Structure 1
């Protein structure tokens, strides 16, 4: 097995170590391998390929972070054909939440989520994807 060096904040490493111990993992490498497999498999659902999808992407960040809101707005405008709606809201004392409502195919939604996740200083990214042809059945 190849050994890989990864940089991460001490706080995250401490959380990984605690998680490994609490959940019976053999160590941090096992946790990171499982997390990588899960991340890579998130959009690997053959049932979603070739279908029109709706996506909700929720982003949380500290509003005191330098220019994160501006970077998210650039990303939003770069994907104007994908983002059908966008909501900005204040959460708690100094956090902001961005909610992006998307409509497109799996590849485009996956690329957007990947670019949001790659934006530095974001605290949390959560998303869901639903085929548009299933919306009537969900109500």
Structure 2
């Protein structure tokens, strides 16, 4: 582990202490490490189009918009290779929040999210992506031999 010394202003220091306390970090260093990881992960997502990712697309839509629910379902079916699961929460008589778990190439995941968010009647759309490494073989924590899952990739968080 390397030590990095930085200087920050009073407000940034106070904000860091607030994050440390609210998230339950024992030290500022733990908080800074997670914030740096998040920043690097976002940067990598923006610059590595071929990267594999998992993500959550959440959005609110107005079911009064003619055929919107059907169009959203058809988009999900057309991208069935990306969609892992979908959960819908009815917020009131007219609005539904959907959360769609997605995995695949980052460019395809972002394209799907952009397509959904561009639909008339979709509001408050946000996507959270996590870059992962895909591999077909792994070693078990109990020391068992490395083995391969033919055709099934394990997705491991990067960093």
TM-score category (smaller protein): 0.5 to 0.7
> What's the CA shift for 1:44?
6.5
Rounded to whole Å, the distance in 2 between the matches of 1:44 and 1:136 is 12
Q: Secondary structure at the match of 1:128?
A: strand
CA–CA separation in structure 2 for the residues paired with 1:91 and 1:132:
32
Distance 1:121 1:108 in 2: 22
Match of 1:9 in 2: none
Quote the residue 1:118 is aligned against.
118
Higher strand share: 2
Shift of 1:119: 0.9
More helix by share: 1
Q: Which protein has greater RCO, CA pairs closer than 8 Å, 6+ apart? A: 1
Segments of 4+ moved more than 4 angstroms:
none
Greater gyration radius? 2
| 1:92 CA drift (Å) | 3.3
> What is the TM-score normalised by the length of structure 2?
0.53
CA shift for structure 1 position 111 = 0.9
CA contact (8 A) 1:59 1:125 kept: yes
State the partner residue of 1:61: 61
- The secondary structure found in structure 1 opposite 2:107 is helix
Q: Distance in 2 between matches of 1:75 and 1:50?
A: 22
Structure 2 segments unaligned to the other structure (5+ residues): 1-42, 134-155
Alignment of 1:1-139 (within 5 A): 45-46=46-47, 48-133=48-133, 135=157
